[in-house]
C-alpha cells in the first residue's frame, strides 16, 4: 500500500508538471511585403517550470515593425500580434528566426500564409534557430519533406504522454504475442485512417472533445487491465483489437490536430502526411519494443506490484480528463 500511495503522489506531480507548449510564429501576408505576425511564446504548464531565457522572433534587415495590432479579448497568455513591412520583395529568400532558443528544449512552429493561398512551414529549435524562406515556386525537396515530417512524427508520439499511456494500457491488458500484434495493428490502422481523413479535410471534429475522449480511452484500458483473472470477460478482454480500433479513431484525430498546427507544404501534402504517419508508427513500435520485456517481467511479480502501473496511468488519465473537459468552456 505504501508503494501505491507513493505512485499516486508521483502521478499527481506528473499530471501537473507538463513541459512547455510549442511556440508559434504565424505570419499572414496581407499584401505584397506586408505581414501580420502572430507570436505565441511558450507558456509553462504546471508549478516550478520557468522560461530559461526570453524568446523573440527576428527578421532579416529589410523587415521593420510598422504597427502593433490589438488582439481581441480572451486571447491566450503569451500572445503578441504586430505587423511588419519587408519591402516590395517580401520575405521570399529572407531569413526569419527566434532568438534565445540555444539550450532550450522548445520547438517553434513557423507558418507563413501567402496571399495566393499557399503555406510555407518549418520548425525552429536549439541549433537550428533560423530558416530561409523559400522563393516563389521553390518548395522543399521531397527528401527534405520526408525527413522533416517523419522526424516530427517520431517526436510527436514519443513526447505524447497520453498516446503512450494508451499503448501501455493495451500492452498491460493483452496477453499473448498474437493478440498483441492484432491489437497494435488495429490501433495503427484506425489512427492512420482518421489522421488522413482529418488532414485532408474530409472529417471535421472540434479538438476539445477529441482530447477529452483520448483521456477517457486511457481510463478505460487502465480499469480493464485491473480486472482479476477470474472475472467475467468484457469486450476489452474478449476482443481487445475492437477497443483499440475504436479508440484509435480518436487518437488519429489527435494526431491530425498536431499536424494541422505544423502545417503541410502545399506542393508535398501527400508525402508529408505519409512521412508524419510513418514517423508516428516508428516511434510507437519503438515504444512497444522497449516495453515488452518489462511487462513480461511485471506479470511474474506479486499481484500488488502488477497493480501499480494501471493505477498510475489511470489516475493520470482521470486528471487529464477533468482538465480537458474544463477546456470545453475555456
Domain ranges of the chain: 23-138, 149-329
Query: What does residue 307 show for φ and ψ, rounded to 5 degrees?
Result: -80, -20
List the chain residues with pLDDT less than 70: 1-21, 42-53, 69-78, 105, 135-141, 262-263, 265-267, 330
Per-residue pLDDT, 91: 86
Q: If you ran DSSP here, which 8-state letter would residue 74 be given? A: S
Per-residue pLDDT, 280: 92
Nearest to 308, CA basis, from 216, 217, 225, 218? 225
Q: What is the pLDDT of residues 290-320, one digit of tens each?
A: 999 999 999 899 989 999 999 999 999 999 9
Question: Is 91:63 a contact under the CB 8 Å cutoff?
Answer: yes
Per-residue pLDDT, 28: 92
The secondary structure element, H or E, covering residue 34 is strand 34-40
The burial class, CB within 10 Å (0-12 / 13-18 / 19+), for 235 is exposed
- In whole angstroms, give the CA distance from residue 184 to residue 282: 13
Q: What is the pLDDT of residues 253-270, one digit of tens each?
A: 988 887 777 667 666 778
- In whole angstroms, give the CA distance from residue 93 to residue 133: 5
Strand partners, 78: none
- DSSP letters spanning 176-216: SHHHHHHHHHHHHHHHHHHHHHHHTTS----HHHHHHHHHH
Per-residue pLDDT, 45: 45
Per-residue pLDDT, 291: 94
Calculate the alpha carbon distances from 42 to 37, 48, 62, 208 in Å.
16, 15, 27, 20
- In whole angstroms, give the CA distance from residue 7 to residue 42: 29
Per-residue pLDDT, 70: 57
Question: Is 229:303 a contact under the CB 8 Å cutoff?
Answer: no
- In whole angstroms, give the CA distance from residue 102 to residue 184: 38
Q: Is the pTM of this model over 0.75?
A: no
Per-residue pLDDT, 73: 53
Per-residue pLDDT, 184: 93
Amino acid at each position: 500500500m505504501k508503494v501505491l500511495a507513493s505512485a499516486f503522489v508521483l502521478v499527481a506531480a506528473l499530471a501537473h508538471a507538463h513541459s512547455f507548449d510549442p511556440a508559434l510564429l504565424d505570419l499572414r501576408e496581407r499584401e505584397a511585403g506586408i505581414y501580420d505576425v502572430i507570436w505565441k511564446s511558450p507558456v509553462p504548464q504546471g508549478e516550478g517550470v520557468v522560461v530559461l531565457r526570453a524568446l523573440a522572433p527576428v527578421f532579416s534587415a529589410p523587415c521593420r515593425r510598422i504597427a502593433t495590432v490589438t488582439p481581441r479579448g480572451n486571447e491566450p497568455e503569451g500572445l503578441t500580434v504586430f505587423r511588419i513591412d519587408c519591402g516590395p520583395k517580401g520575405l521570399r529568400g529572407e531569413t526569419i528566426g527566434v532568438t534565445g532558443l540555444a539550450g532550450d528544449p522548445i520547438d517553434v512552429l513557423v507558418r507563413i500564409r501567402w496571399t495566393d493561398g499557399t503555406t510555407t512551414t518549418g520548425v525552429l529549435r536549439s541549433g537550428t534557430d533560423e530558416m530561409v524562406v523559400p522563393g516563389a515556386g521553390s518548395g522543399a525537396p521531397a527528401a527534405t519533406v520526408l525527413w522533416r515530417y517523419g522526424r516530427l512524427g517520431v517526436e510527436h508520439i514519443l513526447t505524447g504522454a497520453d498516446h503512450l499511456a494508451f499503448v501501455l494500457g493495451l500492452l498491460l491488458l493483452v496477453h499473448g504475442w498474437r493478440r498483441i500484434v492484432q491489437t497494435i495493428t488495429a490501433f495503427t490502422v484506425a489512427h492512420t485512417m482518421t489522421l488522413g481523413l482529418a488532414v485532408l479535410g474530409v472529417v471535421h471534429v472540434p479538438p476539445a472533445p477529441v482530447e477529452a475522449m483520448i483521456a477517457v480511452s486511457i481510463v478505460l484500458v487502465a480499469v480493464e487491465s485491473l480486472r482479476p483473472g477470474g472475472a467475467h470477460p468484457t469486450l476489452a478482454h474478449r476482443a481487445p483489437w475492437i477497443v483499440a480500433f475504436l479508440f484509435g479513431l480518436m487518437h488519429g484525430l489527435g494526431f491530425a490536430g498536431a499536424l494541422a498546427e505544423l502545417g503541410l507544404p502545399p506542393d508535398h501534402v501527400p508525402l508529408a502526411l505519409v512521412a508524419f504517419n510513418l514517423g508516428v508508427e516508428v516511434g510507437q513500435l519503438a515504444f512497444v519494443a522497449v516495453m515488452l520485456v518489462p511487462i513480461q517481467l511485471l506479470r511474474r511479480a506479486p499481484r500488488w506490484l502488477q497493480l501499480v502501473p494501471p493505477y498510475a496511468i489511470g489516475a493520470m488519465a482521470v486528471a487529464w480528463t477533468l482538465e480537458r473537459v474544463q477546456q470545453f468552456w475555456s
